[in-house]
Amino acid sequence: MDTVWIKDVGKKDIGIAGGKGANLGEMINKGLPVPPGFIITAKAFRNFLKESGIEKKLFDILMIDIDDDAQLKDAEKKAKQLIFNTKIPENIKKEILDKYRTLCNEEGGEVFVAVRSSATAEDLPDASFAGQQDTFLNIKGEEQLIDAVKKCWASLYGARAIFYRVKKNFDHEKVNIAVVVQKMVNAEKAGVMFTSHPSSGENVAIIESIWGLGEAVVSGMVSPDNFVIDKETYRIIDKKISEKTKMCIKDPKTGDTIYIDVPQDKRNAESLTDDEIKELVNLGNKIERIYRFPQDVEWAIENGKIFILQSRAITTINNNNIVKEGISKEPILIGTGASPGIVSGRVVIINSIKDLNKVEKGDIMVAKMTSPDMVPAMERASGIVTDEGGMTCHAAIVSRELGTPCIVGSKKATKVLKNGDTITIDGAKGTIYKGRIDTKTETKEEVVIKNKPIITATEVKVNISIPSAAERAAKTGADGVGLLRIEHMVLTLPMHPQKYIDEGRSEEYVDELVKGIKTVADAFYPKPVWVRTIDAPTDEFRAMPGGEGEPIEANPMLGWRGIRRDLTIKEHFRLEMRAFKKLFNMGYDNVGIMLPLIQHPYEIREAKQMMIDEGIDLNKVEWGIMVETPAAAILIEDIIKEGIDYISFGTNDLIQYTLAIDRNNENVSYMYDEEHPAVLKLIKYVIDKCNEAGVKTSVCGQAGSNPKIVEKLVEYGIKSVSSNIDGVADVREAVARKERQIILESALKSIKKDG
C-alpha cells in the first residue's frame, strides 16, 4: 500500500509515515484537533525510485565531496531535476488521487490541502534542524497535488539535507520520505508553541503568534508576538507584542499563498486573546504527556477553532548555562533572546550571500534574516543577530543547534550597527551592548560545586571526545573520565594512521596521541581517566587523507572496527600502547586502558600479550574492556579470568546488537529501547558477576546520561556511571536520590524484621 489515512497510523509508524505523519496520527487518535488527511508512505517514494528506474542514477549523483560548495549545489540541482522530470508510475499516482478524491468528497467539494514532507528521521528526539524538508500550502486540484508531491520528494536532496546526512553518517540509500496531505486550515492567526523553553528547558510554555498563516513565523519574515506562560497555573508571565507588518494568506482569487500588508489597526494589536492562550497551553500539556518529551507545536486558528498542524520533539534544550554575571550598562538594541550566552565580537553585516566570506571566526554576524545558505558562516560566527524572526525562525533554530548566542527580531540591527563595530550580545535576554564587556557565565555544574557537590558512593564520571573539552569537563566535579574516545583525536590528524606508519613517522603519531591524552589526564589528575583504544568505523577512516585503502562495508558499525582492527593491524595497536607507555613513564598513573568491541576472551589474551611486549606492567596499570556485545556479556565470567580490572557498558552498541536494530536506520529506530528487558537482564548479569569477582563496573554509553536508567543501574550495584559533560549534575542528583532510597528501604526492612 502506497498511501494510508492519517488516522490509521501512530507514533510507532515512523518508518511508514515519517515523523510528522506518525505524530499527527497519534494526536488524532488521542482526540486532539488535527485536520484530516492522508499520507503518501515512504514505501511509495521507494517504489517510485525503483519502478521508474532512476534509483542508481540518483544515488550516483550524490557521490560527491560535500565540503565543495560547487559540487554540493550541482548535486542538488541534478537530483531535483531527475525527480521533477520523472513520471510517477500510474499505480502510485492512482492511489494518491483516489485518496484525494475521497477527502474532497468527505469535505463536500474540492479542497485546498497542505502538502508537507515527512522525512522518516526528522522528528525523532535527536534529529537536527537540517534534516527537515519542504511544505507547500494552498494546493488544489489533482495536477497541483502531484506536482507538490514530487517537490516534497525532491526536497530530500536539498544541499543542506545532503550535507547533513553525510556529516551524520546517514546512508542516502536508506533515507526515506513520506508526504502528508492535509486539509488546509485557512488561518486567521497562527504560530508555534514550545512546551518548555527551547534553550534552557525551563518548565514554561512559550507561544509565538502572528496574523494569517504560520509560514511567516517559520520564514522569519515577521517578528511575532511572544507570550510566556506558567504551564501549571496558566498565568501569563510575560507578553511582548511586536509590530506585525506583513501577513501570509491564501489569495481569495487565485488560491496562491501570498504576503500582504497587515491592516493598520492590527499591526500592534495582540494576535491572541487570553482564552486562546490558555487553550493552547492546555493542548500543549496534553501533547507533552503523550510524548513524555518537550514539544515544538505548530498551530492555527480558523473561525475561532484551534487546529494542531504538527508536533515534534524539541532537540535544542541545553540547560547548562544558568547563571550569568549581570551587565549594568544600557543596551543599544533589544530583540528576542533565541539562544543563550554572552559574547563580544566584531560586527559583520550580511546583505547578500556574497558577504558570507567576510565572516571570520569570532565575529558577530548581523543580517536581516538568515537562510540555509548561510550556515557555514554561522558556524564561524561567535554570535548572530537578525532584524526579523522569532524563536522558530531559521537563525534561532540553527543557533541553538550550534550552541551559538543569538538574538532575533531586533528590528534595526542592520541599520544601527556598522561593519567593524565591537558589540556584546546577551543571547538569553536579547540585549545588545556597545563595546566589549567581559562577563562570566557559570555552568550548572559550577553552581553545584560552589554549593558543595553531592557526595555519592557510586562514582559519577564524565565522557570526553575532544581534549580541548577537558577543562570544562573537570569543572563539573566529576569523579574521573569514564570514557576518553581516542579516535576523535586521530580523525582530526592531517593523515590516516597507516600513512604515518608507511612514511616512517610513527613516533610523530605516538606523540600526537600522548599530547591529546595528557591534556585530559592533567585536567583530572589524580582522578582516573579510562582511555578507549581506537574504535572508528572504516567509513570515518576512509575520509582521512591516506584513507583511500579502507574497505567499503555495507554496515561499518558491524564491521572492521575496535579490537578486531587492532588485532589485524598490530603495528597500529603497538603504537597506541607505546603512547600509553610514554604516559606511564611520565608519571600519569591515573590513565587506564580500555579495549572496545570485545566478543571473545581470546581477543583479550592476544591484546594483553602485545601490551606486555610493549613494556606495560599490567599489575601497575588499570585496564579493562567495553561490554558492547551480547557475547561479551554472556561470557563475562571467562573474560574476568583474563585479569581485567574493570568493564564499562557501551549501551548504544549493546542495545542495537541485542535487539538487532541499526539505530541509524529510521525504519526501526523507534524500537531502540534502553529499558528493553533483554538489555537490562544482560547488564544486571554482568554487574552481578563482576561484583562477585571484585571487578569494577561502569557505563559510558548514552544510558549513562539518562537519570532514569542510571537509577536502575545503581539499584543493580554498578560502581560508577559516566555521563556527557552537560549531564553530570543531573546524573549525580539521580544517583544520590536512588542511594538514599535504597538506604531507607533497607532500614525499613530491618525495622520490620526486628519487629
Q: Which residues are catalytic?
A: 394, 700
E strands, 280-434, in order: 295-302, 305-313, 321-324, 333-334, 336-339, 342-350, 364-367, 383-386, 406-408, 422-426, 431-434
DSSP-derived 3-state class of residue 646: strand
Helix then strand then coil, in percent of the chain rounded to 5, is 45, 20, 35
Give the CA distances from residue 505 to residues 12, 272, 498, 509, in Å, rounded to whole numbers and listed in that order.
52, 67, 10, 7
Distance (Å, rounded) from C-alpha 535 to C-alpha 537?
A: 6
Nearest residue to 435 (alpha-carbon basis) of 445, 425, 447: 425
**b/e string for 130-164 if b means 16 or more Cβ within 10 A?**
bbbbbbbbbbeeeebbbebbbbbbbbbbbbbbbbb
**Cβ partners under 8 Å of residue 385, min gap 6:** 333, 335, 364, 365, 366, 367, 406, 407, 408, 410, 413, 417, 425, 432
Distance (Å, rounded) from C-alpha 133 to C-alpha 152?
A: 7
DSSP string over 616-631: --TTTS-EEEEE-SHH
Give the DSSP H/E element, type plus range, for residue 572. helix 570-585
Distance (Å, rounded) from C-alpha 49 to C-alpha 454?
A: 57
Q: Is residue 744 classed exposed, middle or buried when 0-12, 13-18 and 19+ CB atoms within 10 A define those classes?
A: exposed
Residue labelled with grid coordinates 548561510: 374
Distance (Å, rounded) from C-alpha 185 to C-alpha 207?
A: 19
Is residue 627 within 8 Å of residue 520, measured between CB atoms? no
DSSP code for 199 = T
Q: Is residue 486 classed exposed, middle or buried when 0-12, 13-18 and 19+ CB atoms within 10 A define those classes?
A: buried
Give the DSSP H/E element, type plus range, for residue 472. helix 470-474
Is residue 671 within 8 Å of residue 180, measured between CB atoms? no
Pairing label, strands 135-139, 37-40: unpaired
CA-based end-to-end distance of the chain:
66
DSSP code for 727 = G
